[in-house]
Structure 1
């Protein structure tokens, strides 16, 4: 049974990996590129960048471990594409937290004014 936070929303510890992966500027940039749609090679992902292919590969592995991207084999080439499922889960989690904060701030405001 999933743990629940004090406000009743399910705790999602696996989303910590998603937020960790998105917390790095390079990985966030890679996700933004992949959001354009399609599958991209390491060469395409390193174009117009000073980041090495090896560094991009390591960042993609972190993103893959968090479930944010997946790789495909096309012939000898390895292509990467976005898997938006975890991003959507993270977005829903942030919306829940936002509602909880708005509720708490509303109660604080009512208390302060009353």
Structure 2
């Protein structure tokens, strides 16, 4: 599987996005802390499956800390996807907005000199 495919697959699930949000809010949480955040909705096994997908996509980096495992957010794959996909499509839209702004400003200047 392509690394960007893995990122898209990981980001497609709302639970996995919620895990990323948890780690964004407080990076370096233990696996137990992340699992506890989902106690009312999901088993530890279910959370671990989501963590495996996030780890495979390199969005979460587990680091052993003695007998525990701390989870760290890795935003680099998301930035790579944004640069490859979002920026490319936003460039045309941004160029249109800059053109519109220039047109409005030139219209304002023309009206100001006409007064």
Structure 1 runs of 4+ aligned residues shifted over 4 Å read none
User: Under a length normalisation based on structure 1, what TM-score does the superposition of the two structures give?
Assistant: 0.70
Gaps of 5+ in 1: 1-12, 106-114
Q: Is the 8 A contact 1:37 1:81 kept in 2?
A: no
Q: For this pair of structures, how many residues does the alignment match?
A: 92
- The 5 A counterparts of 1:1-114 are 13-49=2-38, 50-93=41-84, 94-99=86-91, 102=93
The structure with the greater share of residues assigned to helix is 2
CA RMSD, Structure 1 to Structure 2 (Å): 2.1
Q: What are structure 2's unaligned runs of at least 5 residues?
A: 97-115
Larger radius of gyration: 2
